[in-house]
């Protein structure tokens, strides 16, 4: 039973008022402006951009980005890669480690499929075991058919995130040499992604973190080149630091994804003057369902938006009083008026929340409702499926 989906398809052409709450809404005008800013930024720095589809999980939005100049997409999961390819995206980078043989068989099959389509697949590794398992899967996928597809392999380097990667220097060289032993693998370059740096609040802290990441990457590249290994591409960067990676002259592709929607968390970063100023384009439409002397309750809780990077902010339209959102559980939000209780919204009033973190928020929804002409007076232009929602494996 999916009555919701059919209702949502009927929304196209209708005013925003027709959107039932809670719902995930994209301000398409703001999104398009963010796209233009990103495209101009990448052009100015002469750098490729391969936005992370783990954020929007939508093949349609991936294709909108590629039309605007993106070279392809990053994903984190094999299933996301499969769904992107099924949706017509033919240049995909799994920027993560895949270890399970069953999943590696899927990776190899997808690589074959993309090669047949004239596209390409890439993947990250950070262990010898990961490389040999990948090589075996690629070989198995060839069966008796002689030459098969070749997958691009990036060595992920430890750059300060404290998560995946191999230590800069000799370990990188060893892994690159291991990759080169396998005819179905092509050593494509290095990944130096510093996720934590994205959310450091001061510009100086982010500069320090990325300077150290760049040092690790350059040290490794220099060593590899001294041994005659060509480092084709260095990839990394998120929305919080991409100015620094882009300006480094070292990185060749940016993975930033959040710029498209901008969330409340990124908006808390002290801005860098030279970084494009992205707008909030992703909102949860919600409604007041219960009113009280000191607070009201709205119908969006943390099943409507992720709270890993903080609670959502209530969007303030010009001339309106500020409202504050507090956690009310899975299905409720508590809204207070710091400017005085006379500003509390009435029963039935619509509020628009800016999610704390766009990636896991999008992952809670089956569709995103694209609106043009503004949130209040706009019209529903399109319904965008979150194709890879829940695609975890």
> Least distance to a copy of itself from the beta carbon of 286, Å?
10
Rule CB under 8 A: choose which of 33, 90, 113, 127 binds a copy of itself.
Answer: 127
Rule CB under 8 A: choose which of 34, 58, 65, 76 binds a copy of itself.
Answer: 76
> Least distance to a copy of itself from the beta carbon of 156, Å?
8
CB-CB contact of 357 with 42 (8 Å): no
| Structure-token pair, residue 254 | 């940016």
CA 97, distance to chain mean position in Å, is 17
Rule CB under 8 A: choose which of 51, 72, 130, 148 binds a copy of itself.
Answer: 130
Rule CB under 8 A: choose which of 14, 303, 322, 343 binds a copy of itself.
Answer: 303
**Residue 105 φ then ψ, to 5°:** -65, -40
Residue 370 touching a copy of itself (CB under 8 A)? no
Rule CB under 8 A: choose which of 168, 213, 363, 371 binds a copy of itself.
Answer: 363
Measure the CA–CA gap between 4 and 315, rounded to whole angstroms: 26
Residue 194 touching a copy of itself (CB under 8 A)? no
N-terminal to C-terminal alpha carbon distance within the chain: 25
Residue 364 touching a copy of itself (CB under 8 A)? yes
Residues 320-359 that bind a copy of itself (CB under 8 A): 327-332, 334, 347-348, 359
> Least distance to a copy of itself from the beta carbon of 284, Å?
9
Measure the CA–CA gap between 181 and 204, rounded to whole angstroms: 42
Query: Measured from the CB atom, is 127 or 212 closer to a copy of itself?
Result: 127
Angle at 253 between CA 363 and CA 106, to 5 degrees: 55
Q: What is the torsional sign of CA 242, 243, 245, 246? A: positive
Cis peptide before 22 (omega within 30 of 0): yes
Angle at 306 between CA 302 and CA 311, to 5 degrees: 80
CB-CB contact of 237 with 193 (8 Å): yes
Residues 96-125 that bind a copy of itself (CB under 8 A): 96-100, 102-103
Q: Among all chains, which residue has been given the structure tokens 């695609």?
A: 391
3-class secondary structure, 68: coil
| Structure-token pair, residue 188 | 């494509």
Rule CB under 8 A: choose which of 4, 12, 117, 321 binds a copy of itself.
Answer: 4
* Number of chain positions touching a copy of itself (CB under 8 A): 65
Query: Measured from the CB atom, is 120 or 309 closer to a copy of itself?
Result: 309
Rule CB under 8 A: choose which of 45, 50, 54, 194 binds a copy of itself.
Answer: 54
Residue 287 touching a copy of itself (CB under 8 A)? yes
Beta-bridge partner residues of 371: 27, 380
Interaction pattern, residues 372-391, with a copy of itself; x per rule: CB under 8 A = ---------------x-xxx
Please list, in sequence order, all residues whose beta carbon lies within 8 angstroms of the beta carbon of residue 130, skipping any fewer than 6 positions away.
97, 98, 99
Query: Measured from the CB atom, is 9 or 99 closer to a copy of itself?
Result: 99
Measure the CA–CA gap between 167 and 126, rounded to whole angstroms: 9
Residues that bind a copy of itself (CB under 8 A): 1, 3-4, 20-23, 54, 76-77, 79, 82-83, 86-87, 96-100, 102-103, 126-127, 129-130, 162-165, 195, 287-291, 295, 297, 302-304, 306-308, 327-332, 334, 347-348, 359-360, 363-366, 387, 389-393
């Amino acid at each position: 039973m999916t009555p919701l989906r059919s209702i949502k398809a009927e929304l196209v052409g209708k005013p925003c008022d027709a959107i039932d709450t809670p719902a995930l809404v994209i301000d398409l005008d703001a999104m398009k402006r963010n796209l233009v800013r990103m495209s101009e930024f990448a052009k100015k720095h002469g750098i490729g951009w391969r936005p992370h589809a783990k954020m929007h999980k939508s093949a349609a939005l991936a294709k909108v980005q590629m039309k605007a100049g993106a070279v392809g997409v990053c994903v984190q999961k094999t299933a996301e890669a499969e769904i992107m390819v099924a949706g017509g995206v033919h240049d995909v980078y799994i920027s993560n480690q895949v270890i399970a043989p069953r999943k590696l068989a899927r990776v190899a099959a997808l690589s074959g499929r993309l090669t047949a389509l004239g596209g390409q697949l890439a993947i990250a590794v950070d262990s010898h075991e990961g490389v040999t398992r990948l090589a075996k899967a690629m070989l198995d996928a060839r069966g008796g058919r002689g030459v098969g597809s070749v997958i691009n392999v990036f060595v992920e380097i430890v750059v300060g995130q404290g998560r995946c990667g191999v230590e800069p220097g000799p370990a990188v060289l060893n892994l690159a040499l291991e990759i080169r032993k396998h005819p179905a693998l092509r050593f494509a370059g290095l990944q130096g992604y510093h996720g934590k740096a994205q959310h450091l609040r001061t510009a100086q802290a982010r500069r320090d973190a990325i300077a150290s990441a760049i040092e690790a990457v350059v040290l490794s590249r220099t060593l590899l080149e001294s041994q005659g290994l060509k480092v084709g591409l260095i990839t990394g960067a998120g929305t919080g630091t991409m100015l620094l990676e882009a300006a480094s002259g070292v990185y060749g592709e940016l993975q930033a994804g959040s710029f498209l929607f901008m969330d409340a968390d990124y908006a808390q970063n002290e801005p860098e003057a030279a970084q494009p100023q992205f707008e909030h384009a992703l909102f949860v439409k919600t409604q007041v369902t219960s009113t009280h002397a000191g607070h009201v309750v709205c119908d969006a809780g943390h099943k409507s938006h992720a709270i890993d990077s903080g609670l959502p902010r209530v969007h303030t339209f010009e001339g309106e009083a500020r409202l504050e959102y507090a956690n009310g559980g899975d299905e409720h939000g508590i809204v207070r008026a710091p400017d005085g209780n006379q500003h509390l919204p009435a029963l039935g009033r619509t509020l628009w929340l800016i999610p704390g973190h766009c990636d896991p928020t999008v992952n809670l929804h089956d569709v995103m409702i694209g609106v043009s002409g503004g949130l209040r007076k706009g019209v529903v232009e399109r319904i965008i499926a979150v194709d890879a929602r829940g695609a975890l494996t």
